[in-house]
């Protein structure tokens, strides 16, 4: 992307700040973030920052492209207060997109989730049936339906990006999130500190771990190609938590065993396995993941080896 005025909501958070900092070289970037999961310290100095809620009026939506990443982004947050989850994730999305529409913006790229596929070891295509078992999933599926409304009724291009397990190390923009940080960052920090990473169940659950740099490129390409509809953002490969811990201990050279605990999330709603079918995004944009699982883990661990 070049020469655009761009709004990134949730732009001081993990994925948002990576995106905002990547776009700032060739674009005018504005960030809106309420500071709940993000911090302006994640942003470069030349990114315009507004500490605002996505529920606010008069947002800075006079832009060419909106990247809507703001969300309450975990199961626990929604179960604690389902009404607040719906307000932020659904009403906040509608509020931002409608203000942008009224200001003349017609390109929206937004965060959805792969959790709606449920547990699958086979790659999940976008056209498969999806289900909702949690408030978080309900809010993201509602967001997709409102995006469809804005597309069909107003002619906006609205690309929903179904993220799989996005990661980066604490050396990126995750450390302040603590228990809500991605598991690779959490496990690496535990192991580097000589502490046992805590795994739910027996550690056989699998995730399609996707490096944040690849996700940022996917978001940019979705805007450049004015994609409409929903698209998976994942590698098409899955790795277990046990494998993850084994590789991190090898790379970091630590002799640490994981601690296995009972899963606090009900088995009926816990997503045990995820794997993307990224072919739709690849066919539409040429996107391919460029950071392998091994390369990504070594990058995460490098911060501790050089410390």
Q: Which residues are catalytic?
A: 136
Can you tell me the distance from the alpha carbon of 19 to that of 27, in angstroms, rounded to the nearest whole number? 11
3-state secondary structure of 75: helix
Looking at residue 187, the DSSP 8-state letter turns out to be: H
E strand segments, the chain:
5-9, 28-33, 48-51, 65-68, 107-113, 157-163, 165-167, 198-200, 206-207, 209-211, 229-233, 239-240, 259-261
Can you tell me the distance from the alpha carbon of 113 to that of 126, in angstroms, rounded to the nearest whole number? 11
Can you tell me the distance from the alpha carbon of 149 to that of 151, in angstroms, rounded to the nearest whole number? 5
Can you tell me the distance from the alpha carbon of 251 to that of 192, in angstroms, rounded to the nearest whole number? 10
Can you tell me the distance from the alpha carbon of 101 to that of 96, in angstroms, rounded to the nearest whole number? 9
């Amino acid at each position: 992307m070049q020469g655009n005025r761009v709004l990134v909501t949730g732009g001081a958070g993990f994925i948002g700040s990576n995106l905002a900092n990547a776009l700032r070289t060739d674009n005018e970037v504005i960030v809106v973030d309420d500071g709940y999961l993000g911090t302006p310290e994640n942003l470069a100095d030349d990114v315009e920052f507004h500490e605002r809620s996505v529920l606010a009026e008069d947002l800075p939506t006079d832009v060419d492209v909106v990247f809507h990443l703001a969300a309450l982004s975990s199961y626990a947050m929604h179960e604690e207060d389902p009404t607040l989850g719906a307000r932020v994730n659904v009403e906040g999305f509608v509020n931002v997109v409608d203000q942008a529409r009224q200001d003349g913006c017609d390109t929206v790229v937004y965060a959805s989730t792969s959790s709606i596929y449920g547990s699958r070891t086979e790659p999940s295509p976008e056209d498969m049936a999806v289900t909702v078992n949690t408030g978080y999933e309900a809010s993201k599926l509602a967001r997709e339906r409102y995006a469809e409304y804005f597309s069909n009724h107003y002619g906006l291009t609205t690309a929903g990006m179904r993220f799989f397990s996005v990661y980066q190390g604490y050396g990126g923009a995750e450390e302040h999130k603590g228990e809500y940080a991605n598991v690779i960052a959490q496990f690496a920090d535990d192991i580097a500190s000589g502490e046992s990473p805590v795994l739910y169940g027996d550690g056989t659950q699998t995730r399609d771990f996707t490096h944040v740099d690849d996700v940022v490129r996917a978001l940019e390409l979705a805007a450049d190609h004015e994609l409409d509809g929903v698209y998976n953002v994942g590698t098409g490969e899955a790795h277990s938590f046990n494998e993850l811990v084994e590789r991190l201990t090898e790379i970091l050279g630590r002799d640490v065993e994981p601690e296995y605990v009972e899963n606090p999330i009900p088995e009926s709603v816990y997503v045990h396995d995820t794997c993307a079918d990224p072919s739709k995004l690849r066919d539409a944009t040429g996107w391919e993941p460029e950071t392998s699982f091994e390369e990504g883990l070594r990058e995460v661990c490098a911060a501790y080896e050089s410390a």
